[in-house]
Amino acid sequence: MAKEKTNKRILSRLPKFEVVDLFCGIGGLSYGMKSAGFDILAGYDLDWTCQYAYETNTGGKFFYKDVKSVKGDEIKSLYSKKKNTIRVLAGCAPCQPFSSYAHTNKNKDENKYNLLYEFGRLVKKVHPDIVTMENVPAIATFKLKSVLADFVKVLQEEGYQVNYQVVYCPDYGVPQTRKRLVLLASRLGKIELIPPTHSKDNYVTVRDTIGNLPALAAGQGCPTDPLHRCRALSPLNMQRMRATPYGGGWKNWPEELLLDCHKKEKGKSFGSVYGRMVWDEPAPTMTTLCTGIGNGRFGHPEQNRAISAREAALFQTFPTTYKFFPNEQEVSLSKASRYIGNAVPPRLGEVIAESIKKHIKNIKK
């Protein structure tokens, strides 16, 4: 009965949404939620170099801290005491332990599996109104540990209604073939993700996203946009790039340009490396190595180079106004690629926020 009264009091008028973001990185999730009108209070991450981008773009306070050492009371103190407030605890626990590579990697770090349990521990201590978690789809089919099932059980035992699904990001206007598991949980009632906003007929494409950017040669940068810079290529890799047709990859090369690994049976399965993108389709999934031609289908559709950091950021739906570095004249391509590849696409964060708002509006009816 007390819980029912509390819910009615919270929902008596249009609420304010306050967010604390665990494993926040440079703020892709937080920024997307901010774009939907949420107040970003704080983000926690173990990479201190993310502080500038997070604080500058989201307005939240960055805490350089291991989530294992974060106390529930610490997070609770960040939320305001206002009655008409929806408290959101968000996060994307590092996905490397749940990736397909981790399943075969004998040197995987078992401690990383515990991060989702730490998230659950904080949910139990903080009791936010809404919980959202984003991760790789493999977490739903992970065989070595029932990490997701345990997380869901914690939420249900704490009185949350839980919904999770694998999202194909082009369905929500993200111009890359990224798939992510999105979980929403609410103590206030049933919650689910909003319906897709796009279909195959109107997916946002490579052309839509980067078609108007200035042309670059390998190793060049744009004088008016420091992030629009791409890696230099060795003479041999330039030959390979020139031998790669539109939409093609290393399988189109002459024998003398092939790498030794491509000649082995195992290497033949990696058909997308050294590949070119296609203009009228979404880009492939951006990774932390997305500005290198040897790491996936990250070759420009026409220009003989890998995509630039700006192009990668746009595929991840970061606006051109997003600030990644204090001094943008000293852009680190490797660091920018890591920031961008690890991030939740801001557009996906916005979709999550819109889903939460719709959930609250439905309860108020």
Provide the CATH number for the domain around residue 10. Answer: 3.40.50.150
Q: Are residues 122 and 226 in the same domain?
A: no
Q: Are residues 210 and 182 in the same domain?
A: no
Say whether both 229 and 278 belong to one domain.
yes
Q: Are residues 184 and 38 in the same domain?
A: yes
What backbone phi and psi angles, to 5 degrees, belong to 307?
-65, 155
pLDDT at 100: 45
- Shared domain for 64 and 191, answered yes or no, is yes
pLDDT at 92: 86
Q: pLDDT (tens digit, 9 = 90+) per residue, 21-31? A: 999 999 999 99
- Same domain? 106 vs 214: no
Please indicate, yes or no, whether residues 224 and 278 belong to a single structural domain of this protein.
yes
Q: Over the range 301-313, which residues count as b (16 or more CB within 10 Å of their CB) and which as e?
A: bebbbbbbbbbbb
The predicted pLDDT at position 101 comes to 40
Distance set, CA 11 to CA 86, 187, 191, 193, 239 (Å): 9, 12, 15, 20, 63
Contacts (Cβ under 8 Å, ≥6 apart) of 117: 147, 150, 151
Sole residue written with tokens 């000293």:
330
Closest CA to 185 of 343, 22, 359, 363: 359
E strands, 92-142, where? 130-135
Evaluate whether 77 touches 99 at the Cβ level (below 8 Å): no
Q: d(Cα 23, Cα 70) in Å, to the nearest integer?
A: 12
Q: How confident is the model at residue 273 (pLDDT cuts 50, 70, 90)?
A: confident
210, pLDDT greater than 50 = yes
Of residues 271 and 181, more confidence is placed in: 181
Catalytic residue numbers read 95
State whether 73 and 177 are in the same domain.
yes
How does strand 225-229 pair with strand 221-222? Answer: antiparallel
pTM of the full structure: 0.90
Question: What are the CA-CA distances from residue 213 to residues 206, 278, 303 (Å)?
Answer: 11, 16, 12
| Mean pLDDT of the region 250-268 | 73
More confidently predicted of 272 and 331 = 331
Same domain? 80 vs 194: yes
Nearest-angstrom CA–CA distance, 337 and 331: 10
- The H or E element that residue 178 is part of is none
Is the same domain home to 158 and 258? no
Of 180, 172, 201, 167, nearest to 281 by C-alpha is 201
- The reply to whether 134 and 249 lie within a common domain is no
pLDDT, residue 168, reads 98
3 state SS of 208: helix
Number of domains in the chain: 2
Confidence of residue 144 (pLDDT cuts 50, 70, 90): very low
Q: Is the Cα torsion angle 205, 211, 216, 221 positive or negative in sign?
A: negative
Q: Are 299 and 244 in contact (CB under 8 A)?
A: yes
pLDDT in tens, 300-348: 999 999 999 999 999 999 999 999 999 877 788 999 999 999 999 999 9
When pLDDT is averaged across residues 116-129 and rounded to a whole number, the result is 96
Find the length of the chain: 365
- If asked whether residues 216 and 175 sit together in one domain, one would say no
Task: Please provide the average confidence, as pLDDT, over all residues in the chain.
Answer: 89
| Cα dihedral 331, 332, 333, 336 in deg (nearest 10) | -80
* Residue 100 vs residue 178, higher pLDDT: 178
Domain of residue 64: give its range: 2-201+344-364
CATH number of the domain to which 306 belongs: 3.90.120.10
> Greatest CA separation found in the chain?
75
Q: pLDDT digit string (tens) for 50-89?
A: 999 999 999 999 999 999 999 999 999 999 988 899 999 9
Closest CA to 24 of 59, 73, 76, 72: 59
